[in-house]
A and B are shown apart, each in its own frame.
Chain A
């Protein structure tokens, strides 16, 4: 199979006018005011979310399992009715104009949703029929989408024979048949290997380059960092942080020095105490990790070695260290005080 070609993506991105046609929605793609959703068993999945996603943005919705990401995206896709608040998608009200929303959005569910008994081409064709793509435009649309997700070679193979990544790509293609100006992607890369994940990212960037607004949920910080213009971090049904990945990282403050230590928790305790009182760092934030300690400070790079020396002089054995720019993991740690769970097993509703 051929690898994704950047030139092709660029060519698609430039696009002729007909390609752009239908992709431009109203200036605000998603407008949410005080969204609440309480399940009938009393579980509050979402409690008071406000957010505005402008047209054309690649917006990321980041949070651990069970934070309320899928519930929120299902409200936007008209699969769930909100129990409180106002939600407008592409300018339409989710309660009273659900059909108009359905016509103007693409939705890719967390679970891969394709008919395994149909071929790749038939799956896309069915989506064309379901979204009312005019009969005359279908053949061209089908081949265009097969091309976009690089499934031309296997167009006539049944989807059940596909790998997980191929199924996801096919699923993504079926969400785009009607050229929606806004696409929802619910944890699209969960459970994929890194190679397949990277490849899928390429397609999402292409789609976004074509002018499509993308709303993506993910529990992978790296994914949000790589793809999104702007992020909201959700925790237990509430948005706890918002901004560009860079903004969020800046909030962490400075660079991160990870120090690996030998010995028991007491050694880590002592090391943390030393780091907190270390004169060369101002406003350092110190956390204990499984391997040792993690120090975030403006001057971590300049004075890191001094700290290592101080630790050694105190009789502690440093087995390794690393200085790095903060990742969204650190952002999350700074916001919540706990590390983000990134296992794939937990189901979410």
Chain B
């Protein structure tokens, strides 16, 4: 039922939906048009035969997941501020269900947004080699990626209890995470220190996994595995890392949430 309320709020307030889509779309269009020729060359040295559009679209899907996940924490702060958080706590509703419902609504929204980006990417000339199955897989990776950031933004929300701080805190991370990764250019073409940082950057794992599916080739840059044939060698380690992150950040967020909603005197 909280799922329904948050979905309704999302539709009711299309501004948030649109804004968290607009920035990635601007990136998609600007990067492909402005850097397309230059970057395309660099990309082709590493992965021959693909256009910059194809290279970039997986990165943009991760960006969408990141941008949309920030609004999750903002939503929680709003709930705390307008009293709905406490109001829900005095109802007999199961508390776990309350937060699962809210997160499910956000994940659903992120899935829709990623699908839109994929569609737009194809229109701009990107190619999803693995077809519909691959597209669904990319959406799934996007969701998997979004979860740790959803948890992170919710944790920020509980700690700061302030809308501006949550937005700034989460946004501050967004650009360094994106640029200091394999999102926009192959790692080999980037300075040494960025390569080092990128190895520890979740975005790299999300993007590489999504990209492997996109072009049906193992392009995972950090962890080399050869358990499978082809693309799965790029996808599997990415998923493993993201799952681990989701668990860690999820646990932190759940701990903070249950502390905030318990009736023990603080």
Seen from chain A, the residues whose Cβ lies within 8 Å of a Cβ on chain B are 37-40, 77-81, 83, 98-99, 102-103, 105, 107, 109, 111-118, 122, 126-127, 129-132, 158, 174
Contacts and interface: CB of A to CB of B under 8 A. Distances in A.
Nearest to A106: B90
B112 to A, nearest CB: 19
B9 A39 contact: no
Contact of B263 (A40, A79, A105, A132): A79
Interface in B1-20: 1, 4-5, 8-9, 12-13
25 contacts: A37-B265, A38-B265, A40-B266, A77-B90, A78-B263, A79-B86, A81-B263, A81-B264, A102-B91, A109-B83, A109-B87, A111-B83, A114-B82, A115-B82, A117-B9, A117-B13, A118-B5, A118-B8, A126-B5, A129-B4, A130-B1, A130-B92, A131-B91, A132-B92, A174-B87
Contacts of A40: 265-266
B265 A130 contact: no
Contacts, number: 69
A113 B92 contact: no
B263 A98 contact: yes
B116 interface: no
B81 to A, nearest CB: 9
B9 A79 contact: no
Classify chain B: how many residues form its interface, as a range. Answer: 20 to 34
Nearest to B93: A130
B83 A131 contact: no
B42 interface: no
Interface of B: 1, 4-5, 8-9, 12-13, 82-84, 86-93, 263-266
A78 B90 contact: yes
Contacts of A111: 83
- Identify the 8 closest CB pairs spanning chains A and B, nearest first: A113-B83, A129-B1, A130-B91, A113-B87, A102-B92, A103-B92, A107-B90, A81-B263
Contacts of B263: 78-81, 98
Given A99-B92, A115-B5, A130-B91, 19 more contacts: A40-B266, A78-B90, A79-B86, A79-B263, A81-B265, A102-B92, A103-B92, A111-B83, A113-B83, A116-B82, A117-B9, A118-B12, A126-B1, A129-B1, A130-B1, A130-B88, A130-B92, A132-B92, A158-B12
